[in-house]
């Protein structure tokens, strides 16, 4: 596969995204390849740790490659998207629960599906160019790939703020919010990867002082409001137009569901619970949400003018997050 390179390099299993021209967007085949490699290396005594990185300066991984899901959904085929999300979430859980160290080097854009790969690694390294975000509400989806788990465990109301506004974090904020661990200038990454491959020991990771984290001292208490409408009304009354503007652009249903998902994740015992809840929304997304319209406006036609139609009423949110019965997310292929 030309989109991803997978190999063993001394003590390290190496996974490298190799489609910088597409900002290393994650396809279904790439997700399956990552999962297969992790399975192969789990009991391989030659592999002491896994290194995940990406070619190009602009992006580690800008998100999931949802164009195929859009085309299939538009044609009435909702199973293609369900299969993609199911296999992607299984891979996300495998990274989060992996018994060996996983070291992710995340430069440039790290969004959506990229967070699902790098954000669940045991050792997450960022640099000056890193910009991490969960912008799914802008395409009529929700922070998935375990994003609700990360958002739910961010300090204070940072999770609600990031999920509703799609705001981007630099390296300092990413570390403060729990999406990354170590700051290291990108010029030093090749030497560190060499040491990791040679030694198989993550103890050789030595970072530098964390850059400034504006979110650390930001007053985000307004995002503790009971509903999105309450939050927007408070922001409007305070004249906080910079925070209010993205909430006026994003899908109302997606934001309402995001609020529910982030808050539910705070009570989860494992990432699997959060992923299973996210899957209930994404399973239904191409048929019952604003997802197709959001992808059309932001990715396909790029007119940036979506016409949101799905209701954000509490009943609709509950229906989108209700149990799928026999279709609930499972963790291995059924016989």
| Angle CA 96–143–171, to nearest 5 | 70
User: Per residue in 126-144, pLDDT tens?
Assistant: 999 999 999 999 999 999 9
User: Per residue in 214-229, pLDDT tens?
Assistant: 999 999 999 999 999 9
Superfamily of domain 4-327: 2-enoyl-CoA Hydratase; Chain A, domain 1 (3.90.226.10)
pLDDT above 50 for 335: no
Arithmetic mean of pLDDT, 81-105: 98
pLDDT band of residue 72 (cuts 50, 70, 90) is very high
Per cent of the chain over pLDDT 70 is: 99
Provide the token pair at 161. Answer: 């703020």
Q: Is the dihedral of CA 298, 302, 304, 310 positive or negative?
A: negative
Structural contact between residues 112 and 147, judged by C-beta atoms closer than 8 angstroms: yes
Arithmetic mean of pLDDT, 205-222: 96
Residues 6+ apart with CB under 8 A from 211: 128, 170, 171, 172, 183
CA 209 to chain CA centroid, nearest Å: 25
Q: What is the pLDDT of residue 331?
A: 87
pLDDT band of residue 332 (cuts 50, 70, 90) is confident
Q: What is the pLDDT of residue 229?
A: 96
Arithmetic mean of pLDDT, 271-284: 98
Structural contact between residues 279 and 141, judged by C-beta atoms closer than 8 angstroms: no
Alpha helices by DSSP H, listed for the chain, are 28-42, 67-74, 79-96, 113-118, 147-152, 158-165, 171-177, 189-199, 228-238, 241-249, 252-265, 271-288, 291-295, 314-320
Q: Which is it for strands 102-106 and 4-9: parallel, antiparallel or unpaired?
A: unpaired
pLDDT band of residue 2 (cuts 50, 70, 90) is confident
Domains of the chain, residue spans: 4-327
- Give the strands of the sheet with 59-61, arranged side by side: 59-61, 109-111, 131-133
Provide the token pair at 53. Answer: 């990185």
Arithmetic mean of pLDDT, 274-285: 98
Q: What is the pLDDT of residue 333?
A: 62
Arithmetic mean of pLDDT, 230-238: 97
pLDDT above 70 for 299: yes
pLDDT above 70 for 88: yes
Arithmetic mean of pLDDT, 232-247: 95
Provide the token pair at 15. Answer: 């996974």
């Amino acid at each position: 596969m030309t989109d991803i390179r997978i190999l063993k390099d001394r003590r390290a299993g190496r996974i490298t995204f190799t489609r910088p021209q597409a900002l290393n967007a994650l396809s279904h085949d790439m997700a399956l390849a990552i999962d297969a490699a992790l399975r192969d290396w789990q009991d391989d005594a030659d592999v002491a740790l896994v290194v995940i990185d990406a070619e190009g300066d602009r992006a580690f991984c800008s998100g999931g490659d949802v164009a195929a899901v859009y085309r299939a959904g538009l044609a009435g085929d909702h199973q293609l998207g369900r299969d993609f999300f199911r296999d992607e979430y299984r891979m996300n859980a495998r990274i989060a629960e992996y018994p060996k160290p996983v070291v992710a080097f995340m430069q440039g854009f790290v969004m959506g599906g990229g967070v699902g790969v790098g954000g669940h690694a045991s050792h997450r390294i960022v640099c000056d160019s890193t910009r991490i975000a969960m912008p799914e509400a802008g395409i009529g989806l929700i922070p998935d790939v375990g994003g609700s788990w990360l958002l739910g465990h961010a300090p204070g109301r940072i999770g609600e703020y990031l999920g509703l506004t799609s705001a981007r974090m630099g390296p300092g904020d990413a570390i403060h919010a729990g999406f990354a661990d170590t700051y290291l200038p990108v010029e030093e990454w090749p030497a560190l990867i060499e040491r990791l491959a040679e030694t198989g020991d993550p103890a050789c990771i030595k970072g530098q002082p964390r850059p400034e984290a504006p979110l650390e001292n930001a007053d985000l208490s307004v995002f503790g409001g009971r509903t999105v409408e309450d939050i927007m009304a408070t922001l409007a009354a305070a004249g906080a137009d910079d925070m209010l503007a993205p909430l006026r652009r994003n899908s109302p249903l997606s934001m309402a569901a995001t609020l529910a998902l982030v808050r539910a994740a705070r009570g989860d015992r494992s990432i699997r619970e959060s992923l299973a809840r996210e899957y209930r929304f994404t399973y239904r997304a191409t048929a019952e949400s604003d997802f197709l319209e959001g992808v059309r406006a932001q990715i396909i036609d790029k007119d940036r003018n979506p016409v949101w139609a799905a209701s954000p009423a509490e009943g609709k949110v509950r229906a989108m997050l209700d149990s799928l019965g026999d279709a609930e997310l499972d963790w291995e292929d059924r016989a």
